[in-house]
Amino acid sequence: MSVKAVTSLTNPTVKAVRALHLRKERDETGLFVAEGLKNVTEGVELGHAPQVLMFGKDAAEHPLTRRAVAATLAAGGEAIEVTHDILAKVSRRDNPQAVVGVFKQRFTALDALQPPSADVWVALHRVRDPGNLGTIVRTADAAGCGAVILVGECCDPYSVEAVRATMGSIFAVPIVRASETEFAAWRGGWPGSVVGTLLTAEVDHRQADYARPALILMGNEQQGLPPEMAALTDVNVKIPMRGRADSLNLSVATGIMIYAVG
């Protein structure tokens, strides 16, 4: 196989990649879009070969683009040089990235996790905002967390918005999906602390005694941890609010807890 050149917005591959902005299409195909040479390179370096690679003429000779093309073709994928208009349509942005890759989604099974392999793990209950989720995945990667576990009905970690926010960490951090019932049963065998942030907690997050491995359980943006999820924690802490704001953005709060626990 060799690199193709495509200029038509009605090309079947172009239409298929554009459709991956829809969750229904991502769920049915098991694919997702990663924009930008950095994100694509992260995927390639971690063993994720693109199934489709699109790039503009200006990026064609970049060494990292050429490496991504080679990885795509070696895996039987499709490498396509496209126009700026096609990149804009695929990205739904007026100023699109010069490289776009389509990758296979990868989820890790809950029972495949090995708690002793990392000091800190993150579980998110019904997280709604893809930007928050992506930022948390990126922070978890930076801090060396074991995985990000999505509990209950969460937003899609492979949406374009979430993947953008991960800045390539979507390829580095194991992503797990579990129902509330599955998570509760699995949590019963957790060997360290299960940590929750609660408004009713009295212990400062910097002063608590965390047993590693520590599993941080965070509630969603609107409601925090509901009672049935808070009941699964054994260390409850608060992040002090000294100004007028009475709450923190979920990704910020999770980042604070990741580094407090770790």
Query: Stretch 98-122: mean pLDDT, rounded?
Result: 98
For the ranges 61-65, 100-104, 114-118, 247-251, which has the lowest average pLDDT? Answer: 247-251
Residue of 251, 102, 126 whose CA lies nearest to 179: 126
Domains of the chain: 4-104 (3.30.1330.30), 110-261 (3.40.1280.10)
> Would you state the pLDDT for residue 247?
75
Position 262 confidence tier, pLDDT thresholds 50, 70, 90: confident
Residue 245 has pLDDT above 90, yes or no: no
> Would you state the pLDDT for residue 46?
97
The per-residue pLDDT for range 190-244, each reduced to its tens digit, is 999 999 998 888 888 998 999 999 999 999 988 889 999 999 999 999 998 888 7
> Would you state the pLDDT for residue 242?
81
Name every residue whose Cβ is closer than 8 Å to that of residue 52 and which is 6 or more positions away in sequence: 13, 16, 17, 72, 77, 78, 79, 80, 101, 102
Query: Stretch 50-75: mean pLDDT, rounded?
Result: 97
Are 27 and 107 in contact by the 8 Å Cβ rule? The answer is no
Instruction: Enter the tokens of residue 13.
Output: 């591959």
| Angle (deg, nearest 10), helices 37-45 and 63-74 | 50
Name every residue whose Cβ is closer than 8 Å to that of residue 179 and which is 6 or more positions away in sequence: 151, 152
Position 1 confidence tier, pLDDT thresholds 50, 70, 90: low
Residue 126 has pLDDT above 90, yes or no: yes
> Would you state the pLDDT for residue 243?
81
The per-residue pLDDT for range 164-185, each reduced to its tens digit, is 999 999 999 999 999 999 999 9
Residue 105 has pLDDT above 70, yes or no: yes
The per-residue pLDDT for range 49-62, each reduced to its tens digit, is 999 999 999 999 99
> Would you state the pLDDT for residue 222?
83
Cβ atoms within 10 Å of 17's Cβ, excluding its own: 26
